Amino acid sequence: MSKANEVIENIDAGDFSDVDGLIQSSIEQDDDQTQFSLAETLLSRGLSVQARVVYEALLVHYPDEGQILSRLAEIAVSDGDSDKALDYITKIEPDDDAYAESLLVSADIYQSQGLYEVSEQKLLTGIREFQDEDVFKFALAELYFDENKFDKALVYYDILLDAGIDNYSGISIVLRKASSLAGTGEYEAAISEFEQLNAIELNEDAQYQLGFLYNQVKDYNKSVKVLEKLLEINHDYPTAYSILADDYLNLKRNEDAFKYAQLGLNLNELDENLYMIAFEAGTSENLSESLSLIETGIKKVENPLPLIIKLSDFYITRGQFKNNLDLLDGRDLANNPKLTWNLAKSYYETDNQKLAQDNILLVFDEFKDNLDYLSDVIEILRSSGDKQVLKVAVKMYLKLEPDNIDMQELLEQI
């Protein structure tokens, strides 16, 4: 019995006490083919450390053997040593039987390092040199997909589908094509592909993508159907709640929108969109709870500015100017013209004329083509008696709405 066989027998018996010693004996006593078979068996069983010992011993005698170099490169990749892996791979010549495998391994290494263009060139070489090997087409499509270069990915996914390959290495090519179409903004075409998927292919992520696509094309009822089914299977799929809440908001089913927004926030309290939807949906029937939620969101989310604007606009439309002043107190509004406008209006309505005028004029350039803004400017300036600036504002207003009789009369008075 060869020492290699003894190694495998001991492993099968669960006895690893003398495996390293037996491997060394195999290297010393067994022929090269037996050693290579041992290394292959060890590697297939996940014993890469032991397999590497045998491959390295063989490499001493066969320094240019591509298959050995390729295996050592694979092991180096799994060990996280990309530089060593590339050192092995670059020694494999184009006329070697292992050259195709070396291109794939090197492409994978370069991709992991973020060197996408180098990885792309390796795979394109593989496509040119090994035209019958679909693995290169698939790998290149996946590379483009990972880079969000969906147009390019679609070219190679279509090539595979045209060749009758709709599944590769457990990955659905149809699903990849559908996702790529969605990535290019071709939502209707993407939906058509998603609807062709079977029950296995339409996994949780695919269901979410389909629900999202229905939402984007405003087919809210279909989106609701898909996403509620998804949440029946997995209650802890946080991004589904945001889309589903938005569906119900657009369907004018505010109670359902509010409910799903709340459920989503239970899973992710940092989702700005869910706070926004909850506030929009809940202000009519759950006002106090909605206000509490958006105030919580303002404190918790990374970028609370959209929520602050939403709440500020709410206070303005409801005439709650003191609440708006409290909301904006101490906040830096230098880079937000809308909040500056809201602040000016609140000052005016709470009889602080000077601050109202100072703030409303700060954002004149941003809103000079907005009739609502100009109306507020004119109202504030009429109270201040600043006729020169008032005249400019009235003229700007009449430029946008020349037939407004009230403004014509005001201009004549000035």
182-237 residue pLDDT tens: 999 999 999 999 998 888 888 999 999 999 999 999 999 999 999 999 999 999 99
Whole-number pLDDT of residue 98: 87
Q: For residues 316-323, give the mean pLDDT.
A: 96
Q: Which amino acid is at 13?
A: A
| Cα dihedral: 73, 61, 17, 14 (round 10) | 60
Q: Can you name the residues that pair with 171 across neighbouring β-strands? A: 168
Q: Please report the domains of the chain, with CATH numbers, ordered by start residue.
A: 133-202 (1.25.40)
Mean pLDDT of 348-371: 92
- Give 1's pLDDT tier (boundaries 50, 70, 90): low
Report the share of the chain in percent with pLDDT over 70. Answer: 99
Please tell me the total number of residues recorded for the chain in this structure: 414
Task: Give SS3 for 251.
Answer: coil
* Mean pLDDT estimate for the chain: 91
Nearest to 312 by CA among 245, 238, 297, 320: 320
- Cα separation of 359 and 91, whole Å? 70
Closest to 373 measured CA to CA, from 406, 325, 341: 341
Does residue 144 register a pLDDT over 90? yes
Average of pLDDT values for 360-371?
92
Tokens of 275: 């706070």
Please give the pLDDT value at position 182: 96
Decide if pLDDT at 99 tops 80.
Answer: yes
- Tens-place pLDDT, residues 266-306: 999 999 999 999 999 998 888 999 999 999 999 999 999 99
Query: 389 pLDDT exceeds 90?
Result: no
Q: Beta strand 167-168 with 171-172: parallel, antiparallel or unpaired?
A: antiparallel
Q: Which helix (H) or strand (E) holds 171?
A: strand 171-172
- Residues 6 or more apart whose Cβ sits within 8 Å of residue 407: 378, 394, 397, 398, 401
Condensed to tens digits (0 to 9), the pLDDT of residues 59-75 reads 899 998 989 998 998 89
